[in-house]
Amino acid sequence: MQLTNLSGKVAVVTGASSGIGEAASRALVAEGVQVVLAARSVDRLKGLAQELGELALVLPTDVGDEAAVERLFAEVQHRFGGLDLLFNNAGIGYGGSFVEGKTEEWRATIDVNLYGVLFCTRKAIPLMRGRPGAMIATVSSVGGRHGIAGFAVYNATKFAVVGLHDALRKELGPEGIRVSLIEPGAVYTNWGYNIPKGEMKARRDQLEALKPEDIANALVYAFAQPANVNPQEILIMPTRQTYP
């Protein structure tokens, strides 16, 4: 399969310290992409950057903090002059009864899953203009298509992300900026805050859940398409998962 050579491209990966973000960073560096690692876990980012080498740059960032996001993209512009890929991956999901849910958990979910995407995307767009094949790629979820009992606020953020990207495609497409969603089903990550780990693992084992590398491969596949090709949505599920 003939795909675009990604060597020399510049990417920002949020939530890069673990799971899908870590796997995506590895996959992009393997393609010769300069990757900016953004997350709150400074020590984990530094360990990953040391492993990945000179193509990895650590810029610790809380994506729910607008000022921190502004500093992140100002530094990207200063160092690289532009941006080819924003991978909005940072996200959290608290589970449990909506009625009994804690409002601080709602706010944390909305800050990262929605405001983080909004803040990062707005700051990335000016850096992408005039760069062939530039792409905003965001991890949504099968939970952005179907409601999941016990994850109402998480679902609300992911449905919002789907709507945002549908509108942005129409706004940015004429400029040549691609907007893509990756919507995974069950993945072996630390997703599912305040859900017992044994319960989550049992469900994932039953479904033969995806690995973070599976999502990273989907990202590279989408980004490496020719500049006039936009894989708008990639719904990727374990074969055994037939419902959310």
Query: Running DSSP on this structure, what letter comes out for residue 146?
Result: S
- Give the span between the Cα atoms of 186 and 137, in whole angstroms: 19
pLDDT of residue 192: 64
- Cα–Cα distance measured from residue 8 to residue 5, given in angstroms and rounded to the nearest whole number: 9
* Identity at 107, one-letter amino acid code: R
Could you give the CA distance from residue 188 to residue 195 in angstroms, rounded to a whole number? 14
Residue 201 has pLDDT above 90, yes or no: no
Q: Over the stretch 76-96, which tens digit does the pLDDT of each residue have?
A: 999 999 999 999 999 998 988
d(CA 77, CA 96): 41
Note the residue count of the chain: 244
Catalytic residue among 94, 115, 154, 243: 154
Looking at residue 39, its pLDDT comes to 97
> 90-138 pLDDT, tens per residue?
999 898 899 999 999 999 999 999 999 999 999 999 999 999 999 999 9
- Whether pLDDT at 198 is above 90: no
Give how far the C-alpha of residue 124 lies from the chain's centroid of Cα atoms, to the nearest Å. Answer: 14
183 burial class (0-12, 13-18, 19+ CB within 10 angstroms)? buried
**Digit-coded pLDDT (tens) for 40-56:** 999 999 999 999 999 99
- Domain architecture of the chain: domains with CATH: 10-227 (3.40.50.720)
- 10 contacts 84 by C-beta, under 8 angstroms: yes
Q: Which residue reads 């999941």 in tokens?
A: 148
Across the strands, what pairs with 181? 138, 233
In SS3 terms, 111-157 reads as HHHHHHHHHHHHHHHHHHCCCCCCEEEEECCHHHCCCCCCCHHHHHH
Query: Does the annotation count 193 as an active-site position?
Result: no
3-class state of residue 10 by DSSP: strand
Main-chain phi, psi angles of 201, to 5 degrees? -65, -40
Residue type, 114: L
